[in-house]
Structure 1
Amino acid sequence: MDYIEESFIGSGDLYIDVLDAGGNRTGELSAGNARVFNINAAKVDKKDMKGMMRSNFGKTIKSIITKYEQSLKFTLTDFSIANLALAFMGAAATVAQSAGTVTNEAVTARAGKYVKLAKSEILTTPSDVVVSAVTPAPWSAATVYALGDYAKPTTPNAYRYECTTPGTSDSTEPVWPTTVGQTVTDGTAVWTCRKLTYTKTTDYEIDYVLGRIAAVQGGAITDGQSLEVDYSHGAATVNTIFLSTNQKIEVFIRLVGHDIANDRNINLELYKVSLSPSGDVEFVKEDYATLEFTGDILFTDAGAGKLEIRD
C-alpha cells in the first residue's frame, strides 16, 4: 500500500450543551470563536509485574492499567452571556423592568458616594428626579426642641427649619425666613432655614442608566441624611448572570472541525465533561480578552466519546 501523508491543520466550530441536574442534554449552543481547543495527553497509571527468574529477571512480564484520565482545555474569544455564565459558574437570566413611577423612595445619602435606587433607566421626562428631605412635623407652640430637630411651618412652604439653638418655642409662630441659612428666634429656640427640595449638580448627582444617587460634597445634603426621591423610570430588559450559583458544570461538547491540510471534516463528541474556568476574566485589558476553560473527560455507559473523520 502506498504511503499517504496525512498531516493536520485544524479549524472548528465548538458547541457546548450544558447538562441539567439529571444529566440530560438541553441543546447545543455555539461557543463562538475558539482560539484553542486541545485534548491533553492521557494520564495513565500502570501496575507492572517484573520477572524474577533467571530467564526474565528485571523484565516486564505483565502490565495492567489501573487509572486512565484525560482532560481538555479551550480558549474562547466570545464574551457571550452563555460563555460568561460558564466562566463565573453562574446562571444566565433575563431580568425585566416595567416602566413606572416611584414616589418618596427612602434613601440614606452618602456624601461623594453613589447609593443605589430601586429602579434603573431613570427618565428626565415628563419630569426630572426630585430629591427632598424627609418632611418634618409641623411647628408647635410652647414645645421644647433639641439641637438638630426639624420643623415645618403650619402653613407649609418650600423649606424646612433646623433647630440650631435648642430651647422652647414661643406661644405664637414665628415669621419663617425663606433664604437658606437665614435664622429666626422662636422663644428661646433659634431656627435656621434649610432646603426641603435639593438642586441637581449643586446638591446631588444622578446616574440615570444604573439608577444611583450621590450627595455632592459641600452641597446642602449631609452625609447620612434621610432623603425622599421621586422619579420615573423606563422599561428595561437586562441580560444578567447570577454569579457562583453552580457547584459543578457538566457539559456535552461537540467540535465540528475541518482538517485544512487534507480537506476533510471531523466530528468530535465528548459525552460528558466536568468543566471549570481556568483563567482570569479580564474586563480591563489593552488587547482582546479571552475566557479559558479546562475539563475532565468523564466516562459514561456509552464511553467517553467518539471521533469521526469524514472524507
Structure 2
Amino acid sequence: MSGLLCAGDLYLDRLDDNGNRTGYRKVGNATRFAINEPSERQQRTGRGRENYGQVLDDVAIKQPSTLAITLDEVDKTNLAYALLGDAAAYDVTGSSVTDEEITAHMGAATQLANRNIDDGTAVTATGEGGSPSFTEGTDFTIDYRLGLLTPIEGGAISDGDAVLVSYTFLDASGNRVSGGVKPQIRAVVMLDGKNLADGSDILVTVDEARITPDGEVDFLSSEFVPLPMTGTMRLLPGKTAPYTVDLPSAG
C-alpha cells in the first residue's frame, strides 16, 4: 500500500453535435483533475420524550458524479472549451479595395472592412463623388494592422462625413474561437497517470462528461491565466459506472 501523488497526462475526446467522437487530444499541462462523489443525506429524527433529536433512520442518496479540470496551456482548442465555443482556422486572401465607404468620427477610429492593410502601398481617401482628396498624416491616420481610420483634428474631414477609402490588404491566416455558441462541451476524458509514491500506473476513464466553465477567462490578468472547468458524468447505456479507475498490476 502507498499514498497517492500523481503525475499525469490528460486527454479529452470532444464529441460533435451528433455525439460522435473526434479523437483524443492531449490538453497540455493540466494542473487539476478531481472527481467528486457527493451524497445527500435524508434523516428521520425522533420527537419523543426520550429520543428527541436522535437519528432513527439515516439514508444517503447518491448525487451525480462530478469532475473538475484546470488547464494552464492556452491554445485554440483549450480556449474553446473554456469559452463554450468552436475553434476553426481562418484564411484571408489579400486583395485591393476601391472606394469603400465609411463614416468618419472625430476623435475616434472607424473600422475598415479588412485588417492587415499593406503599408507599402498608398491608402487614398476622398469625399463622396471622389472630391475632395484627403491626405494621410494631415487629414487622417491609418492603423495598418487593425484597419482603423481616424480623422485628424483640424484636417479636412469633419465628424460624420462619408469617406471613400481605397487600399490593399494582405493575406492573413490563423485560428479563431467563436465563443458562447455551445451550452456545454461533451467529451470523453482520460487521465494517463503515474503514482509517484510507488511508480505504479493509474488510468482514469470518464465515458462522457458534460463540461462547463468554472470561472472567467481574464485576458488582461497580470498572471498566467488558468482555464477552470467543471462537469457532470453521464452513465451511458449498457455501462454499470460512469467512469473507471484502472490500477494495472506490475510485471
> Deviations along 1:226-259, whole A, 9 cap, x unmatched?
0111111111113111121112221111111111
Structure ID, larger Rg: 1
Provide the residue aligned with 2:97 in structure 1. Answer: 102
Return 5+ residue gaps in structure 2 as ranges: 47-53
Task: Say what the alpha-carbon RMSD is for the aligned residues.
Answer: 2.4
Query: Structure 2 residue aligned with 1:308, among 233, 239, 246?
Result: 246
Give, in whole Å, the separation in 1 of the partners of 2:41 and 2:215.
Answer: 32
Q: TM-score with structure 2 length normalisation? A: 0.88
Give, in whole Å, the separation in 1 of the partners of 2:138 and 2:186.
Answer: 54
Secondary structure, in 3 states, of the residue corresponding to 2:183? Answer: coil
- Written as runs of structure 1 = structure 2, the 5 A alignment for 1:141-156 is none
- The answer as to 2:61 corresponding to 1:45 is no
Provide the residue aligned with 1:269 in structure 2. Answer: 205
Give, in whole Å, the separation in 2 of the partners of 1:258 and 1:209.
Answer: 47
Shift of 1:65: 5.2
- The answer as to 2:173 corresponding to 1:237 is yes
Provide the residue aligned with 2:32 in structure 1. Answer: 36
Provide the residue aligned with 1:112 in structure 2. Answer: 107
Give, in whole Å, the separation in 1 of the partners of 2:235 and 2:44.
Answer: 27
Cα contact 2:43–2:55 (8 A) shared by 1: no
Shift of 1:279: 1.3
> Deviations along 1:126-145, whole A, 9 cap, x unmatched?
x2211111226xxxxxxxxx
Query: Structure 1 residue aligned with 2:116, among 118, 121, 128?
Result: 121
Give, in whole Å, the separation in 1 of the partners of 2:212 and 2:55.
Answer: 41
Query: Structure 2 residue aligned with 1:79, among 74, 80, 83?
Result: 74
Provide the residue aligned with 1:156 in structure 2. Answer: none
Closer, same or farther in 2 for the Cα pair 1:59/1:226, shift >3 Å? closer
> Deviations along 1:92-116, whole A, 9 cap, x unmatched?
1112111111111111111121211
Closer, same or farther in 2 for the Cα pair 1:66/1:105, shift >3 Å? same
Secondary structure, in 3 states, of the residue corresponding to 2:138? Answer: coil
Q: TM-score with structure 1 length normalisation? A: 0.72
Provide the residue aligned with 1:250 in structure 2. Answer: 186
Provide the residue aligned with 1:145 in structure 2. Answer: none
Paired amino acid for 2:194: H
Give, in whole Å, the separation in 2 of the partners of 1:67 and 1:223.
Answer: 65
Shift of 1:48: 6.4
> Deviations along 1:36-75, whole A, 9 cap, x unmatched?
22112x2223556899xxxxxx7767x7654332211121
Give, in whole Å, the separation in 2 of the partners of 1:35 and 1:110.
Answer: 47
Query: Structure 2 residue aligned with 1:227, among 146, 160, 163?
Result: 163
Paired amino acid for 1:209: R
Shift of 1:18: 1.2
Provide the residue aligned with 1:212 in structure 2. Answer: 148
Cα contact 2:96–2:168 (8 A) shared by 1: yes
Secondary structure, in 3 states, of the residue corresponding to 2:90? Answer: strand
Provide the residue aligned with 1:15 in structure 2. Answer: 11
Give, in whole Å, the separation in 2 of the partners of 1:48 and 1:283.
Answer: 47
Give, in whole Å, the separation in 2 of the partners of 1:248 and 1:285.
Answer: 25
